[in-house]
Amino acid sequence: MANMAQAIRMALHYGEENLGVQDIFGQDVGAPLGGVFTATQGLKTTWNTPLDERGIIGMAMGIAMAGEKCVAEIQFCDYIFNTIDLLKMAGNTHWVSNGNYSVPFVLMTPVGAGIRGSVYHSHSFDSWASRLPGWKVVMPSTPADAYGLMISALEDENPVLFLKPKALMRVRGEELLPGEPESEKDLKAMIDAPIGDRSKWKPKWPKIGEHRIPIGKGKITREGEELTIVTCGRDVLFCNQAADELAKEGHSVEVIDLRSIYPYDWELIKESVTKTRKVLFVNEDTEVTNFGEHLSYRATK
């Protein structure tokens, strides 16, 4: 089974071959590294940028406004905060131009803790992202969802922020992606660059098929009757584990994976909370101004 980094890489390759993606760029995104988590290794349209987050966002906006599809990456979300005004501008452009201009591009950035990244590589961006007008925001918890959400993001006419949970980038899935070889060893040999000299290496891409996860649609990962847990990203694994442990004690807990932070699947949440009458919102972000507070307020109301 592919891990999340491999799934994102294959989705981006599909985008290059089938969806008109012409530029994938950011710090260390191109050769030889292919991204700090190797999610862009071997892709033909990648290139490296200077260490300049504002420049990366500005280039993405310009490319998108020129009518080309691109994917940009901020190496870690910890360094995205000096671009907030540009992100607001990108999200507002369609509205302020009366529909004459749009800025549809995908912005990837790793988020969250779990890799011993200390203070500069462990921040969350969930709640900040949810307050960016005009943006769609997704965060997968499985490789299959990462693949499907990326395909949908590449096809969307809005700017989409693709949050990559750092702690899940090497976690393998439980289902094969379309066209993925059954052997993990075979997949690694096909699309993972070797350690050392990579000057002559080229990937041998599997015949990748279509697989889309609609933006704005969550999923139930555990069904239950006594309590609803609403979560996303890395915390889905913890919540699933907790639900399984509670099941051994005779308790029935329902877990919802948001998958999309905005727009979020309110109908799925509402239906579950109406059934269980109890709800717990779990995420990695700070307590104050947490996006979960908004969901909690709405659920209570």
Domains and CATH numbers, the chain: 4-175 (3.40.50.970), 219-300 (3.40.50.920)
- Average pLDDT in the chain: 95
Q: Is the pLDDT of residue 161 over 90?
A: yes
- pLDDT confidence of 129, banded at 50, 70, 90? very high
Please spell the DSSP secondary structure of the chain, one letter per residue: --BHHHHHHHHHHHHHHHS-EEEEEETT-STTT-STTSTTTT-TTEEE--S-HHHHHHHHHHHHHTT-EEEEE-S-GGG-GGGHHHHHHHHHHHHHTTTS-----EEEEEESS-S--TTTS----HHHHHTSTT-EEE--SSHHHHHHHHHHHHH-SS-EEEEEEGGGTT-B-SSPPTT--S-HHHHHHHHSPPSS--TT--------------TT--EEEE--SSEEEEE-TTHHHHHHHHHHHHHHTT--EEEEE-SEEES--HHHHHHHHHHHS-EEE--SS-STT-HHHHHHHHHH-
- Tens of pLDDT, residues 206-253: 998 889 999 999 999 999 999 999 999 999 999 999 999 999 999 999
More confident site: 114 or 212: 212
Question: What was the pLDDT predicted at 162?
Answer: 99
Separation CA 112–CA 114 (nearest Å): 7
pTM assigned to the model: 0.96
pLDDT band at residue 198 using 50, 70 and 90 as cut-offs = confident
Can you give the pLDDT at residue 287? 83
- The reported pLDDT for the residue numbered 114 is 84
166-180, 202-216, 244-258 — most confident range: 244-258
Q: Judge whether residue 204 has pLDDT over 80.
A: yes
pLDDT in tens, 14-48: 999 999 999 999 999 999 999 999 999 999 999 99
Q: Which is higher by pLDDT, 124 or 242?
A: 242
Q: Is the pLDDT of residue 117 over 80?
A: no
The model's confidence at residue 149, banded by pLDDT at 50, 70 and 90, is: very high
Residue 209: per-residue pLDDT: 86
Q: What is the pLDDT of residue 94?
A: 93
Per-residue confidence (pLDDT) for residue 92, from 0 to 100 = 96
Q: Return the pLDDT at 286.
A: 85
State the catalytic residue, choosing from 13, 94, 121, 123.
Answer: 121
Name the band, by pLDDT with cuts 50, 70 and 90, for residue 120: confident
211 is catalytic: no
